[in-house]
Amino acid sequence: MTDTVNDTEMVLEVRDLVRHFPIRAGVLRRTVGVLKAVDGVSLDLRKGETLGIVGESGCGKSTLARLLTAHDRPTSGEVTVLGRSMHELRGGELRRARRHVQLIFQDPYTSLDPRMTVADTVREPYDVNPDLAPRGDRGRMVRELLDAVGLNPDHGDRYPHQLSGGQRQRVGIARALALRPEVLVCDEPVSALDVSVQAQIVNLLERLRETFSLAYVFIAHDLSVVRHLADRVAVMYLGKVVEIGTEAEVYESAAHPYTEALLSAAPVPDPALRGTRQEIVLEGEPPSPVDPPAGCSFHPRCRKAVAGCSASAPGLDPVGGGGHLVACHLADRS
């Protein structure tokens, strides 16, 4: 886990964010349904903080990442970066606002243009935003960025296919840093890498957070990676945040049955502790976001569900008297 965040400046605020995709069919392409990818998410992020986001595939994490970086527009709700609403901006204003929040992609190969050298890839943000750096300084700034992410400046002449997966991801990080953002949204940035390389990239991100005074939204499947990096953790299920709290609150005092199941499925690195944790097996597949269950969306798979769970959706309310929030009718509110 990262150090305690002392600076309380808010750099990112998300309020009631919704992204629904219409499903069209027939010759006239009429709307026959709606896929609720993100369905009412509220989050905030402070300067220097890392917010981890975890959940199963299909729960809306990557859609949320695209909304946070204004690569997609919400159906409703708001994303505010440094006090400005991203989705009210257009054209040049939007491009300038995007400088403050950049995205690191999951696949370090397909996210890079195979026709561009490493140096050209990292230089491209300056070419698109020429007011950020004089043309004569861009080569030096590219070399400094490559050095900052642990690449030899000589790698600038290479193409993506000449690099390893870890090196390609370092190029993607350097490109994201070129605009000097305040926030990096990391969409599963280590899931496509070997385990040993994952550790190197995670350590690099920790160092860069301090060097560049960054805040991270770190999306991942691997709960051990998130625990190592995150100050706070949000758990998503079927387009909603069902639990959010500090790393200790979520990992040591999980209050939502879904969070408990995720933690029980995570590998235990210490052999002496294996077998001491209750194994929770979720029944069935996640419901379709096109037709989510009534009431609590998790109740069809929940081992603790009672009759009232299908009647109404729980709000995301405090549990334990602190900033720990959980959306569960059965959570202890004391």
Classify residue 227: in a domain, yes or no: yes
Classify residue 5: in a domain, yes or no: no
Classify residue 216: in a domain, yes or no: yes
Q: What is the pLDDT of residue 192?
A: 83
Classify residue 228: in a domain, yes or no: yes
Name which of 109, 35, 54, 75 is nearest 287 in CA terms.
35
One pLDDT digit (tens) per residue for the chain, 334 residues: 444 444 579 999 999 999 999 999 988 889 889 999 999 999 999 999 999 999 998 899 999 999 999 999 999 999 999 999 988 888 888 888 889 999 999 888 888 999 999 999 999 999 999 988 899 999 999 999 999 999 998 899 999 999 999 999 999 999 999 999 999 999 999 988 888 899 999 999 999 999 999 999 999 988 888 999 999 999 999 999 999 999 999 999 999 999 999 998 776 655 555 555 667 878 778 889 999 999 999 999 998 999 889 999 999 999 977 789 999 998 875 5
Instruction: Give the structural domain span for 179.
Output: 10-25+33-256
Q: How many independent structural domains does the chain possess?
A: 1
Q: What is the pLDDT of residue 222?
A: 84
C-alpha span between 35 and 238 (Å, rounded) = 10
Whether the Cβ atoms of residue 81 and residue 100 lie closer than 8 Å to each other: yes
Q: Give the CA diameter of the chain.
A: 68
Name which of 71, 15, 72 is nearest 40 in CA terms.
15
Amino acid code (one letter) for 143: R
Classify residue 116: in a domain, yes or no: yes
Whether the Cβ atoms of residue 102 and residue 91 lie closer than 8 Å to each other: no
Q: What is the pLDDT of residue 3?
A: 45
Amino acid code (one letter) for 45: L
C-alpha span between 89 and 96 (Å, rounded) = 10
Name which of 280, 287, 283 is nearest 263 in CA terms.
280
What H or E segment, with its residue span, contains residue 234? strand 232-237
Amino acid code (one letter) for 103: L
Classify residue 291: in a domain, yes or no: no
Whether the Cβ atoms of residue 39 and residue 240 lie closer than 8 Å to each other: yes
Q: What is the pLDDT of residue 334?
A: 52
Amino acid code (one letter) for 160: P
Pairing between β-strand 325-326 and β-strand 50-54 as defined by DSSP bridges: unpaired
Pairing between β-strand 240-246 and β-strand 325-326 as defined by DSSP bridges: antiparallel
Alpha helices in 183-292 (DSSP H): 195-211, 223-229, 247-252, 257-265
Whether the Cβ atoms of residue 226 and residue 45 lie closer than 8 Å to each other: no
CATH code, domain carrying 223: 3.40.50.300
Q: What is the pLDDT of residue 21?
A: 96
Classify residue 103: in a domain, yes or no: yes
Classify residue 90: in a domain, yes or no: yes
How many other C-beta atoms lie within 10 A of the C-beta of residue 166?
19
